[in-house]
Amino acid sequence: MTTPDPSFSRPRGPFAAFAFPQFRRVWLASVIFSLGNWGERLAIGWVVLAETDSVFLAAATFAVRQAPQLVAAPFGGAVADRFPRGKVLLLSGVYRAVMLSLMALVVANWLEHLWLIFVLLAVTGMGSSFEFPSVQGMVTASVPRKVRMNAVSVQSTGTRTVGAFGALASGIAIDFFGAPATLVGSGLVFVFGGLLALIADRGIRKTVSRRSGTVFSDVVEGFRLMWGLPVVRTILIAATFVEIFGFAFGAVMPAVAKNALGVDVKGLGTLNMMSGFGSVLGSILLVSLGNFRRKGLLLIGIALVYGLFVATFSASGSYALALILVVGVGASAAAFDAMQWILLQLNVPDEMRGRAIGAWAFAIGFGWIGHLGLGAVGELVGVQWALAGAGVMVSLTGILAFLFAPRLRNA
């Protein structure tokens, strides 16, 4: 069992999870992984849009990265429950570094063969499906149950803070050093994060459970048990729809910057930074709520607000106004994600934490439909109209959950 530092008489306050040294190590590793992810997303999305001038192809880079989660994420969750998570994250970090180095070579030398980028993105997405279940499993294993909502919120705050500044830094790095150098740098960041995760995991006891059977049988058992839990089932269904219509906004951000707002890659970086800043605010809001009692109702309310911000943030065509409204998009996205993780972790047995997040990653794996759909609609009628429709669907998901999911509403 984890124990707090002597300087804490008991875990309390908005950052209570930091009372536990194991959590602090896990937190640091997770924010390093977040930094690497931002560098990859921004570099690839901007390069493809700049070279092809296609909103659809730029959005497709997100879809191709995410689609493999439908296959790999459930296994990533089962692996996180069965094997040492620190080792899983180290191997994942090395894997991501190799993939990003190959992407850098393609961008630098053979970009006319665009299909190579998409192949590498798909392979990268397969490997990255093993990251998040391990990170979340370590976060909740590093603190007692009563501190888990705070731990997830604080960890989300850290990754979002790094994301805010990482987005801006990545935009500047692409502008000054080029996309290939940014991709290689992001790969090195992943390796460093994996090493930190390995060190962090050594201080956490019983991070995995030892069972007979195979990883495949763990996956089947996990899906069967989680589908039988009404709250978990509803969260996974809501996650699918909100991912398809809400989180797809990231796939068209390069097009929003270039076509709707008329700014360059540094302007895109600033947009993403403000979205990241909003993410920090959303995470801090959850931290300030402490162990909030009506968690399900809070999740539903966040979905309603999220849809409104997605629908309106770029509608006016004003860059200054978009910078303000995209803060709300980021805040809602971060809060919605964190509340899903919290509710999943609190509504499944401890030995299934990894598989719960793996099932969530499987659900959001359907987000590629939204990426491609939003890209296609954006190319036909403009990204502002595409985002307006997507935002309406997100809010509608929240309304339907409120009306027809009483167990989630009362969770």
Residues 81, 219 contacting (CB under 8 angstroms): no
Q: What is the dihedral of CA 79, 82, 85, 89, to 10 degrees?
A: -20
Give me the pLDDT at residue 211, please: 56
**347-390: pLDDT as tens digits:** 888 777 778 888 888 888 888 888 888 888 988 888 899 999 99
Residues 347, 231 contacting (CB under 8 angstroms): yes
User: What are the strands, taking DSSP E only, across 281-382?
Assistant: none
pTM, two decimal places: 0.73
Give me the pLDDT at residue 306, please: 97
Q: Which two tokens stand for residue 260?
A: 């709707």
Q: What are phi and psi of 283, to 5 degrees?
A: -70, -40
Weakest mean pLDDT among 107-111, 243-247, 407-411: 107-111
Q: What are phi and psi of 206, to 5 degrees?
A: 55, 50
pLDDT at 176 over 90: no
Task: Report the range out of 47-61, 154-168, 376-390 with the highest average pLDDT.
Answer: 376-390
Give me the pLDDT at residue 4, please: 42
3-state secondary structure (DSSP) of residue 365: coil
Residues 162, 42 contacting (CB under 8 angstroms): no
Span 117-133, mean pLDDT? 87
pLDDT at 232 over 60: yes
**Distance of alpha carbon 114 from alpha carbon 61, whole angstroms:** 11
Q: pLDDT tier at 226 (50, 70, 90 boundaries)?
A: confident
Of residues 335, 330, 277, 307, the one with CA closest to residue 161: 277
Domains and CATH numbers, the chain: 16-204+213-409 (1.20.1250.20)
Q: Which two tokens stand for residue 201?
A: 């995991």
Of residues 64, 147, 51, 141, the one with CA closest to residue 353: 141
Tally the residues of the chain.
411
Q: State the DSSP H helix or E strand holding residue 335, giving kind and residue range, or none if neither.
A: helix 319-346
Span 209-234, mean pLDDT? 78
Give me the pLDDT at residue 7, please: 40
CA torsion through residues 141, 142, 143, 149, sign = negative
